[in-house]
Structure 1
Amino acid sequence: MPTGVAIRDVREQLFDAAERILLRDGSNALTSRAVTTEAGCAKGVLHRHFADFDAFLAELVRDRIGRIDEQSAALRRSAGTGTVADNLTTALLDVFGSVAVAIVGLVISRDGLRARLRQGGSVGIPLLAEATAMITVYLDAERELGRVAADADVDTLAPTLIGAGHLLFADREADREGTPPAPAAVRKVVTTVLAAVTRQP
């Protein structure tokens, strides 16, 4: 890109480029040069907007966590509508059907990135921790409405659903050629985990 030409929404352009690399080539291929090449901009652009590459990656993760926050609000609003299993199936497909699985792998593989995220107050494994909190809040709301048993341990059920969902999607992601699991497979996980605590109308 010519010098002096403003790049519209440069941060999002760089984030989107990083996501494409993650999904196509994996975390080992993710470098600052690869990102700027994929985004079609000059090599120095990334470092003009971020202190270093780990700072860029930390902001990428935080931006994607913001998307989980939006999904959480939508899931909470769905309490009392449809079925618990359908609502949670949709939530898991939304969370793991994106770049979340690849980002979790990225966080696990980069010590500097994990340290940067911890400095920002992140706990647990980013994205998975926020997704677990999302499911916990939803299940608690359904418990208050009587659609989940009053004695259901939502603090155990939520991470169980997220862990099972993550493994289901990660298995398909491992070879980068696999297709995402079918909604029916995700729903089977949900109904199995919640079989003893859901109350049908």
Structure 2
Amino acid sequence: MSPRRAAALRDDDLSLRDHLIATAERMISEGGTAGLTVRGIAREAGVADGVLYNHFADKEELLAQAFRAHVRSVEAGLGPLPEPGTGSVRANLAAYVSHGLAMHRAILPAMAGLIGRPEVLARFAAAGETGEDWRDRLLAYLRAERELGRLAPDARVEAAAAMVVGVCHEAVLSLLFSGTEPERDVDDLVAALLAGIRP
């Protein structure tokens, strides 16, 4: 281990790769992704610029991993989501919608700097595991409730999940392009969804 690398990791149990991801994630959390450079990440991490290329194919891979870490961190701060079969479907679905809206709002500053970087977003999408993302968990929740008989046996839960995701995306796009988020009544949205999928 080089002296510079040792200094960067002195008080940390992370590998250098994880240290670089954590550093970039912290920078994204504090200032978004616009203007984030390899040099800036390396300096903040306490390593030479070229060290990043020993652990990542390129800057895009590092940014994708850091953005994924940022999304996970945001979601962890929002608390757990309801489990199938607990509480009421109406309240649980409202919790999923509220969670999705809050998550999308929170990641908007980081996402805004990546809109013109499709290669980073493509790697972000490819780096995820099935079932890990909020959308996957929403769909799994709806499928489980259908299996439990708390939704209609022929409920089109994929379409319902797509509608909820669309509402969250619309809110973010409105913020991004007009600076305002449309008024959303989560209870009304849930009522409209359940009218089509409840037994």
The TM-score with structure 2 as length reference comes to 0.66
TM-superposed deviation, 1:171: 2.6
**Is the partner of 1:28 in helix, strand or coil?**
coil
Q: Which position in structure 2 is the counterpart of 1:63?
A: 69
Query: Unmatched 5+ residue regions in structure 2?
Result: none
1:17 to 16, 27, 31: 27
Counterpart amino acid of 2:85?
G
Kindly report the root-mean-square deviation, in angstroms, between the aligned alpha carbons of the 2 structures. 4.1
Check conservation: 1:21, 1:35, Cα contact below 8 A. Answer: no
AA at the equivalent of 2:63: L
Report how far residue 137 of structure 1 moved: 1.2
1:1-201 alignment runs, 5 A limit? 3=4, 5-7=7-9, 8=12, 9=14, 10=19, 11-22=21-32, 27-33=33-39, 35=41, 39=44, 41=46, 44=49, 46=52, 49-63=55-69, 75=81, 78-98=83-103, 99-102=106-109, 105=112, 108-117=115-124, 120=126, 130-172=133-175, 174=177, 185-199=185-199
Give the partner amino acid of 1:55.
Answer: E
Question: Partners of 1:185 and 1:51 in 2: how far apart?
Answer: 44
User: Percent identity among equivalent residues?
Assistant: 25
Structure 1 residues 61 and 88: CA distance shift in structure 2, 3 A: farther
C-alpha displacement of 1:79: 1.0
The answer for unaligned runs of 5 or more in structure 1 is none
For each residue in 1:42-68, what CA deviation from the matched residue of structure 2 results, as whole angstroms up to 9, or x when unmatched? Answer: 673655643421011121244357679
Structure-1 separation of matches of 2:191 and 2:41:
40
- Shift, 1:149, TM fit: 1.4
Which letter does structure 2 place at the counterpart of 1:109?
G
